[in-house]
Amino acid sequence: MDLDPFFEERLRVHRKHLFNKALGSVRSRLSALWPFAKGPAAMTGMGGGATPASAAPPQDAVAAASSEPEPALGPHARARARHRQAALAWDRRELHKVGLAGPRIRTTEHVVAVPGHPDVRVRVYHPDPDDPPAQGVPGVLSFFGGAFRIGGIGYPTTDAANRRRVHDAGVAIAAVDYALAPEHPYPVAIEQAHAALEWLFESAGELGIDPRRIGVAGTSAGANLAAAVTLVNRDRGGRPLRLQVLEVPVVDLTGGHLDLRATRALGIPRFIALRELRSVARTYLADPRHGREPYASPLLADSHGGLPPAVILTAEYDPLRGDGEAYGAALRRAGVDASVVRYQGVTHDTPIFSGALPAARRWHDDVVAALRRLHG
Asked if omega into 182 is within 30° of 0 (cis), the reply is yes
Give whole-number Cα distances, 205 to 105, 124, 201, in Å.
19, 13, 8
- Cβ burial 272-286 (10 Å sphere, 16+ → b, else e): ebeebbebbbebbbe
**Spatial distance between the Cα atoms of 367 and 227, rounded to a whole number of angstroms:** 16
CB of 220 closer than 8 Å to CB of 248: yes
Q: Give the whole-angstrom CA distance, residue 106 versus residue 335.
A: 38
CA–CA separation, 139 vs 173, rounded Å?
Answer: 6
What does the alpha-carbon distance between residue 236 and residue 234 come to, in Å, rounded to a whole number?
6
Nearest Cα neighbor of 146 from 75, 247, 13, 76 is: 247
Which residues, listed in sequence order, are joined to residue 112 by a DSSP beta bridge? 120
Do 322 and 260 meet the contact criterion of CB atoms below 8 Å apart?
no
Please say whether the beta carbons of 146 and 130 come within 8 A: no
Q: Is there a contact between 164 and 102 (Cβ–Cβ < 8 Å)? A: yes
Sorted by sequence, the CB contacts under 8 Å of residue 40 that are 6+ apart come out as: 24, 27
Q: What is the DSSP string of 159-194?
A: HHHHHHHHHHH--EEEEEEPPPTTTS-TTHHHHHHH
Contact 228, 293 (CB under 8 A): no
Residues designated catalytic: 220, 318, 348
